[in-house]
Every structure is written in C-alpha cells, then in structure tokens.
Amino acid sequence: MLPDPPKSLLHRWATPVQVLLTLGLYLQLSVLGGLAAAPGLYGAWAVFDATVAWPRAARAVALAMAGFAAYFSYAVCIIVVVGAWRLLTRAASPLGRFRYYSREGMQWASYNALILLVRYTCINFLRVTPLLPLFHRLMGMKVGARVQINTAVIGDSNLIEIGDDTVIGGDVTLVAHAAERGDLLTARVKIGSRVTVGLMAVIMPGVEIGDRAVIAANAVLKKGTKVGPDELWGGVPAVKLGARGEAPSEAT
C-alpha cells in the first residue's frame, strides 16, 4: 500500500472537481450516444412521415417497429462510434497502482465510462454475438477467433487478452483493476485458447489462465492467480481441483 496521501489541492477539492468532470463526461457521452442514435432516429422519422395517412392502429405498429429497429441500429452504431473515439483519443486504463484522485485515476475513469456507455444502454443484446468481441477489440482488447462472451461485466478491455475459441460464461466478472485501501491497482489479465470460464466466475487483475483450462461456475480467481494449461479450478477463493487426465482427488 502507498503511504497516506498528502493533502493536495486535488484531494481537498475532490468532490466539486468530480462533479465538474462528471458533467463534462455526460456531455461527451451525449455527443457519442447522439451520433450513434442518429441513423436509427432518421429511419424512424422516415417511417413517421411515410405513414401519416395510415389508419391509427397500423401506424402505431409501424412506428413501434421502427422504434425497436432504431434501438438495434443504435446498438450496432455505438460500438463503432465509441471504438473510433477511443482510437482517436487513445483512451486506455493505465497500468500500475495509483490514488483514486490522480491523473491516472481520471484516465481510468474516463476510459471505463466509454465501456459503461455501451454496457448500460445495449450490451445485453450483444452478448454471445461476434459484435461483443468486436467492441472489446475496438476498445483495445486482444481477442482471438471464435471467442464467445456472455457477460456485460468487463472493464479495462485494453489490459485483457483472450485466446482463440475461449468461452467467457454468463455474467462472469472480468476486470483488470481492483480498488483497495484508497488505491486503484491494475494488472494485465491473460486468458489462453479453448478456455472455459464458468458462469458468474470472478477474474481479478493479474490472473493468467493457460490453454484449455476450465474455471468452475462461481469461482473467484484472486489477484495474480496463475492457472496452468488443462487445469480445473474452482471455489472461493479458487484452488486447483484437478487437471485433464488426472482424477480430481490427485490434485494438490
């Protein structure tokens, strides 16, 4: 842990500064979200104009469908808009250990806010489709071929690597940061190829998982845990339960 923070100006004014930054962030997210929503709104508007003479019930159906189509159009467009914005600004989670109220802390928060814009508006419709790996790739993650991701809860994408044919199960928490005792620490997470990460498992910063390993449902892999290739890990905190070609009881 770092020594107690000196009472810097930023520390003293942390809350008003955070309010101002939050408002600035809302403005930025409004621009990005608005750009992504515009094509769908344009289409829905066209349907609105084209159906003026229709009977009310038929028009209601057409407009409701156009509204849903506009939402799905937003879900696809926001990936591209946010990804392009990240490339333009080079936003990323920084590596290391730092104070919440620091330049790195703000960098971390503003990068992850981009991910949250997608997570809180439409990510559940992107789960288990190629669009979700594409989104994380655009956010800086190294993602292999045919990876299936069935969770919304991924942060710090630029610090995460996932190999080919890996499955990230339903509602897994996959993050490369931890807030601890006043500090924020980040470390790269590396998941190999053909790995199965079970339902609702928690993967903490610095975790490495070898090829073909299986992580049991609900397992919690503590910071820095190293799982070897072909191993089976489970529990809270997770321990090795076995390995391919080895009975579970033979595990140490």
Ligand X SMILES: CC(C)(COP(=O)(O)OP(=O)(O)OC[C@H]1O[C@@H](n2cnc3c(N)ncnc32)[C@H](O)[C@@H]1OP(=O)(O)O)[C@@H](O)C(=O)NCCC(=O)NCCS
Q: Nearer Cβ to ligand X, position 44 or 201?
A: 201
The nearer residue to ligand X, 79 or 168, going by C-beta atoms, is: 168
Report helix angle 103-119 to 14-50, nearest 10: 30
At closest approach, how far in Å is the CB of 210 from ligand X? 15
Cβ proximity to ligand X, 183 vs 246, nearer residue: 246
> What is the spatial distance between Cα 211 and Cα 80, in angstroms, rounded to a whole number?
30
How many C-beta atoms surround the C-beta of residue 65 within 10 A? 12
Closer CB to ligand X, 40 or 163, in the complex: 163
| In the complex, least distance from residue 135 CB atom to ligand X, rounded to whole angstroms | 20
Least separation in angstroms between residue 232's CB and ligand X is 6
Question: Smallest distance, Å, CB 141 to ligand X?
Answer: 19
DSSP string, the chain: -PPPPP--HHHHTHHHHHHHHHHHHHHHHHHHHHHHHHHHHHHHHHHHHHTTTS-HHHHHHHHHHHHHHHHHHHHHHHHHHHHHHHHHHT--PPPEEEESSSHHHHHHHHHHHHHHHHHTTTGGGTTTSTHHHHHHHHTT-EE-TT-EE--S-B--GGGEEE-TT-EE-TT-EE-SEEEETTEEEE--EEE-TT-EE-TT-EE-TT-EE-TT-EE-TT-EE-TT-EEPTTEEEETTTTEEEEETTB-GGG--
Based on CB atoms, which residue is closest to ligand X, 36 or 172?
172
* Residue 247 CB, nearest approach to ligand X (Å): 8
- Structure token digits, residue 119: 């997570």
Confirm if 186 and 205 have CB atoms less than 8 A apart. yes
Compute the least distance from the CB of residue 217 to ligand X, in Å: 4
Contact residues for ligand X, defined by CB under 6 A: 167, 169-170, 196, 198-199, 214, 216-219, 232, 234-235, 241, 248
Distance of closest approach, residue 127 Cβ to ligand X, in angstroms: 11
- 62 or 241: whose CB is closer to ligand X? 241
Nearer to ligand X, 44 or 168 (CB): 168
